[in-house]
């Protein structure tokens, strides 16, 4: 597993959320949206200029800004060890 930010993932990549950082207000808001540690997330698509990005998480799609995604640290999930959603 490789650690990186959510913004660094390629389209179609899956990862497990490790940590949500940033200002407390922003971190709480992101966690209220379901972006909490140990959650599996998939990057579905990026806008042409990279902002916003669309995620698939907990059975729904969520769009967040690239700036917000840079505050979320993840561990990439290898295709071989990946569980079916």
Indicate whether 77 pLDDT > 80: yes
Q: What is the mean pLDDT of the chain?
A: 87
Answer whether the bond into residue 13 is a cis peptide, omega within 30°. no
**Residue 80 confidence (pLDDT):** 55
Domain chopping of the chain, boundaries? 3-78
**Residue 81 confidence (pLDDT):** 52
**Residue 46 confidence (pLDDT):** 92
- Maximum Cα–Cα distance for the chain, whole Å? 37
Q: Which fold has domain 3-78?
A: SH3 type barrels. (2.30.30)
Using the CB atoms, write b or e for 61-77: b if 16+ within 10 Å. Answer: ebebebebbebbbbebb
Distance CA 58, CA 48 (A): 25
pLDDT one-digit tens code per residue, 10-30: 999 999 999 999 899 999 999
- Least confident piece of the model among 49-58, 61-70, 76-85: 76-85
């Amino acid at each position: 597993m490789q650690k990186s930010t959510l913004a660094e993932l390629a389209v179609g990549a899956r990862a497990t959320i490790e940590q949500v950082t940033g200002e407390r207000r922003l971190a709480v808001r992101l966690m209220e949206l379901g972006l909490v540690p140990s959650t599996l997330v998939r990057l579905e698509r990026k806008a042409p200029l990279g902002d916003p990005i669309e995620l698939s998480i907990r059975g729904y799609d969520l769009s967040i800004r690239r700036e917000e995604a840079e505050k979320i640290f993840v561990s990439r999930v290898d295709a071989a060890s990946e569980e079916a959603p």
